[in-house]
Structure 1
Amino acid sequence: MPWIILLIAGLLEVGWSYSMKLSQGFTRPGMAVITLVLMFASVALLSLAMRTLPLGTAYTVWTGIGAIGAFVLGITVLGEAATPMRLLAALLIVAGLLLMKMASPH
């Protein structure tokens, strides 16, 4: 169950990073509020997952999900470049996440 909670927390991190982009530097109040709500929910779920999972594992996986999710959204929704070097970097992040999961005792 802590891994599912951590996954949801990571997906919420993707949501708040995207809504932050849409808030245009917190100049759009509705998107700014959505950003803050998603941030709070993401961190709250991260803290629940950390009750069971080691700090280093939970935090690394949470930020990795957020990083990869934001990367994918940037390319697919915002039209950001998918250069070979950026794709390789993302692949290395995913590999690190998988290794972290496999190394976890839970």
Structure 2
Amino acid sequence: MSWLVLVLSGVLEAVWATALGRSEGFTRLTPSLVFAGALVLSMLGLAYAMRELPVGTAYAVWVGIGAVLTVAIAIASGEESVSAVKVLLLAGIVGCVLGLKLLH
């Protein structure tokens, strides 16, 4: 259960990071509220997962999922360009996250 909660918390990290960027310094209400809600839920999930998973592994997986999905959202929305090198580097992060899961 901890791994599932950790993955969902990583997804929420991408949600809050994206919402933070779209809040324009907290001047837009909806993205600001999405940021706050996703941030709280993401942190609660990370804390829950860390009850059973090592802190370093849990944090690295959480950050990796959040980082990859944040870039993917930015690419999909046209806010960021895509390149073969960028995709390769993101695949490397995914591979490292999967490796951490396999080692645990």
TM-score interval, smaller chain: over 0.9
The residue that corresponds to 2:69 in the other structure is 69
More off after superposition, 12-21 vs 27-36? 27-36
Q: Distance in 2 between matches of 1:78 and 1:14?
A: 16
**5+ residue gaps in structure 2?**
none
The residue that corresponds to 2:102 in the other structure is 102
The residue that corresponds to 1:24 in the other structure is 24
TM-score by length of 1: 0.92
> How many residue pairs are counted as aligned between the two chains?
104
TM-score by length of 2: 0.93
Measured after TM superposition, the shift of residue 67 of structure 1 is 0.5
The 4+ residue runs of structure 1 with deviation greater than 6 A are none
Q: 1:81-96 residue pairs with structure 2 within 5 A?
A: 81-96=81-96
**5+ residue gaps in structure 1?**
none
Give a deviation string over 1:21-68, Cα, whole Å, max 9, x none: 211121113321220121111001100000000111100000001001
Instruction: Report percent identity of matched pairs.
Output: 35
CA RMSD of aligned residues (A): 1.1
